[in-house]
Structure 1
Amino acid sequence: MSGGAPRFLDQALFAELAAQAQLSPRGRQHHNFHAMEEPCHRLAVGLQPHTYIAPHRHLAADKAETLLVLRGRLGLLMFDEAGKVSGQRLLVAGGECVGVDLPPGVFHALVVLEADSLLFECKAGPYRALGAGEQADWAPREGDPAAPTYLAWMRGHFV
C-alpha cells in the first residue's frame, strides 16, 4: 500500500479543471490520480462543448473503460464497424443515467452538451496510444478540417 495522502474529487478540483479546459485549445483537461505505471488508471477530465473526441475503441481484452459524469451533460454515441450509430445515451450528472461501463472493442465517442462538464474515467493501465484498428477510419481525426462538421453531426443526435 502506498503512503500518499487522500485526494478528493471536490468542487475546488472541478472548478480548476473547468477553467483549465476553457483555456485549452482542445477544450479538455485531465487530472490523473494515478502514476503512469500503475495498473489502474483513474482520472477526472474537465470538458468544454468545443472538444472533439473522435470515435475510437480499445481492442485489448483488459481495456474496458468506465466513465461517470460528475458535472454537466454528455452524449455517448456507439458505432458499428462501418460507422453507423448503433446506440446512444444521454449521460447526466445526478440524472437517470450517470455513466457507462464500455467493454473492449466498442467504437464510441462523447459529445459535451454543457459547458464545464466533468467526468471520471477508469481503465486498465499502462497508457497505450490507440493502435491499428482502434481509430475509426470512417471519422475525421482530431485536428482534421472535417472534425467540426462531424462534431456538429454527432451533437445533432442529442438535440
Structure 2
Amino acid sequence: MTRHSFLDQSLFNDLAEKAAGNPRGRQHHNLHQMEEPCHRMVVGLQPSTYVPPHRHLGSDKVETLLVLKGTLGVLIFDEQGRVLDKRVLQAAGESLGVDLPPGVFHGLVVLEADSLMFECKAGPYRPVGDGELAPWAPREGEPGVAEYQRWMRAQFDKTAG
C-alpha cells in the first residue's frame, strides 16, 4: 500500500521552483506507480516550456487536464493543423480544464509563470509514438520551435488578459 499525498502549496511551490530551474520549463510529480493502470500527476509549468501539438492514438488514452494554479491555453487542431477550438484554462476562471478523447491533436501554451496542472490518463507510460506528433509543428529541440511557440501564444493574446 502506498502513502497518501496531499496536493498542497508546499508541493506547488516546489514544482514551480523545479520547473523554473529545468531547461524544459516543466517538472512532473507522479502520484502513481508506473505499473498502475491510472496515471495521475501534477505538472509545474513555466512559459518557456514547449508542448508540441500531439495526440494519443491508444483507444484507452483519454487525457484529462485540470489547472490547479495559473493559466494555460489549450489548442485543438484538425489533421492539417487548423485550429478547431481554443480555450484559456485558469484555476479560478470560466474553464478549469479539458477532457481529450484519443486521437485529438492538442497543444498547450503556458500563459502565466508558475502554472500547475493535474493530468490523468491510462498507463502504462509510453513516449509519443508514430503518428502521434503533429506533422505540421516542429518537435521539441528542432529549428522553428520559438516561432511556432510565439504563434501558439498569439492565439490567446486577446483572450488571456
Q: How many residues align?
A: 157
- Deviations 1:78-132, CA, capped at 9 Å, x for gaps: 1000011111011000211100110000000000000000000000000111111
Counterpart in 2 of 1:146? 144
SS across alignment from 2:10: helix
- Runs of 4+ aligned structure 1 residues displaced above 3 Å come to none
Matched residues in 2 for 1:115 and 1:83: separation?
27
1:55-66 correspondence runs (5 A) = 55-66=53-64
Counterpart in 1 of 2:32? 34
- The answer on 1:107 being equivalent to 2:105 is yes
Structure 1 vs Structure 2: percent identity of aligned residues?
Answer: 66
Of 94, 119, 126, 1:96 maps to 94
Matched residues in 1 for 2:117 and 2:44: separation?
7
SS across alignment from 1:148: helix
Counterpart in 1 of 2:2? 4
SS across alignment from 2:80: coil
Matched residues in 1 for 2:3 and 2:142: separation?
41
Counterpart in 2 of 1:75? 73
> 1:8 offset after TM fit, Å?
0.5
Q: Which amino acid aligns with 2:107?
A: A
- Deviations 1:15-68, CA, capped at 9 Å, x for gaps: 000000000000000000111111000000000001000000001110000000
In structure 1, runs of 5+ residues without a counterpart are none
> 1:5 offset after TM fit, Å?
2.1
Cα RMSD (Å) = 0.6
Matched residues in 2 for 1:49 and 1:127: separation?
25
- The answer on 1:124 being equivalent to 2:127 is no
